[in-house]
Structure 1
């Protein structure tokens, strides 16, 4: 995918993730606003890069990105078995493993059924299929997520 439309900080951050993730052992994904930008949506502001991966890989990825694990209070709408940030990259990178979303009084695991390889310059990375991403945003259900559903649905109409 041509990265010409990506802001420099996002492009550089994505390349940093892709390079650092080459050694990961389990599947991983870029999701959220960064994935939307990789799909070609350029009318959105992307404040960070969200990465979902396995717990062991999350720690390795954070170490490779000079990031750190942050205690996840498990309150609110989301919780993660491992959550961390790499704030010293060109753009904030947030890494999540074992992500769950609140479903009433229970917690539901968040996972993608699809994995599509894309490239920024020559660096490989992975995103979920657009339909898989739409399902994630519907599960989250916040107003900003539902607005993203509308944006993503335009890509498949």
Structure 2
């Protein structure tokens, strides 16, 4: 399914997504934008979008980071999330955070986050992808943080 931007994205988000689309054009594996940026792309009230979270494969993360000289950060323990590769691409209107093989803490232990749906949005520089609205809301609820629950509710209302 191909869509143009909904009413939610700011000019900074549009610019960051275009840069991301260009960088990810040669990706080997499926990838998605999640979090507040994805909520805004769906046209829902995401609140203040400060960065763009990208789920991608380890292989694609390593290629993108090498090509664009994005430093891979050392693993920092977090009680809710962990990823095989984590990198912050700065110097753009919004920081892009690359997370390869993201896992989320659950009562049964760490579980990999692998969206099943993939909705395409078109930018001036190519395509970007987000989980569909329903799956994105479920992902946000799975994260369980207050800001994520609020954004999931905004998706439900939009």
Normalised by the size of structure 1, how large is the TM-score? 0.90
Preserved contact between residue 36 and residue 46 of structure 2 (Cα < 8 Å): no
Note the residue ranges of structure 2 that are not aligned, 5 or more in a row: none
Alignment match, 1:57:
60
How many correspondences in the alignment?
155
Residue 73 of structure 1 and its aligned partner are, at CA, apart by 2.0
Residue 105 of structure 1 and its aligned partner are, at CA, apart by 6.5
Preserved contact between residue 8 and residue 41 of structure 2 (Cα < 8 Å): no
Residue 11 of structure 1 and its aligned partner are, at CA, apart by 1.2
Residue 90 of structure 1 and its aligned partner are, at CA, apart by 2.3
Alignment match, 2:80:
77
Alignment CA distance shift 1:132-1:65 (3 Å):
farther
After superposing the two structures, state which structure 1 stretch, 23-32 or 81-90, moved more.
81-90
Note the residue ranges of structure 1 that are not aligned, 5 or more in a row: none
Instruction: Report the secondary structure of 1:150's partner residue.
Output: helix
CA RMSD of aligned residues (A): 1.8
User: Is structure 2 residue 39 aligned with structure 1 residue 36?
Assistant: yes
Residue 4 of structure 1 and its aligned partner are, at CA, apart by 6.8
Instruction: Report the secondary structure of 1:95's partner residue.
Output: strand
Preserved contact between residue 24 and residue 57 of structure 1 (Cα < 8 Å): yes
Preserved contact between residue 3 and residue 11 of structure 1 (Cα < 8 Å): no
After the TM superposition, which residues 89-104 of structure 1 pair with which residues of structure 2 at under 5 Å, given as runs? Answer: 89-104=92-107
Structure 2 Cα separation of the partners of residues 28 and 113 of structure 1: 11
Normalised by the size of structure 2, how large is the TM-score? 0.89
Structure 1 Cα separation of the partners of residues 5 and 116 of structure 2: 25
Alignment CA distance shift 1:74-1:8 (3 Å):
same
| CA-to-aligned-CA distance 1:77-100 (integer Å, 9 cap, x gap) | 100011111112221010001111
Structure 1 Cα separation of the partners of residues 118 and 130 of structure 2: 6
Q: Which has the higher contact order (CA 8 A, sep 6+)?
A: 2
Q: Which residue of the other structure, out of 20, 24, 44, is the alignment partner of 2:23?
A: 20
| CA-to-aligned-CA distance 1:45-103 (integer Å, 9 cap, x gap) | 11001110100101222334442211122332100011111112221010001111111
